[in-house]
Amino acid sequence: MKILIAALLCIVYIPAFAAFPVVPVPTNEQAALLQSDSPQLAANKKVAYDIYRYVMAGQLDPLGKLVSKDLINHNPNEASGFDGLMEYIKQFIGSEPRPVKDTLNGLVSIFAEGDMVVISFVREYDNPNKPGEKYTTTWFDMFRIVDGLMVEHWDGAKLKTN
């Protein structure tokens, strides 16, 4: 009887252990994420946010005012330096500019402390355990912002294979 009760409890409570989908902040609430009691932290958040807005639109020219020429990049697929970043962006976004949106698709959060800003997004992938189904997770980018410029960048990218 105890085994039957334990089995029934497992069946009932298994859904409680499933991961919840990652949900983005509604676009009409994104501006609030840029606020801070510290004007410097708010400015740093805005730099990271704007970098993403320009990159997603393929607008590379404005990045010259937001990214250091000596950018240190910790993504194993991107070369360091401004030119390395530009080359990488062209590979996955293209070089045909599009209108810059006021908001970011899939934005989850923006945090800032000192000269560091972390921005996160929803990522959706095919579920390898359930063909035809998707699952969501979170992608993080971290920026070090100094004097209004991104000088260093980290993300969760893995080395691409040929």
> What pLDDT is recorded for position 81?
95
Give residue limits of the domains in the chain: 24-155
- Tokens 């355990």 sit on residue: 129
- Write down the architecture of domain 24-155 according to CATH: Roll (3.10)
pLDDT tens-digit readout, 26-65:
999 999 999 999 999 999 999 999 999 999 998 899 999 9
Predicted confidence band of residue 3 (pLDDT cuts 50, 70, 90): low
pLDDT tens-digit readout, 97-118:
899 999 999 999 999 999 999 9
The Cα–Cα gap between 50 and 45 comes to: 9
CB 110 within 8 A of CB 119: yes
- Tokens 């989908």 sit on residue: 21
The Cα–Cα gap between 116 and 98 comes to: 28
The Cα–Cα gap between 142 and 152 comes to: 8
Structure tokens at 147: 């004097």
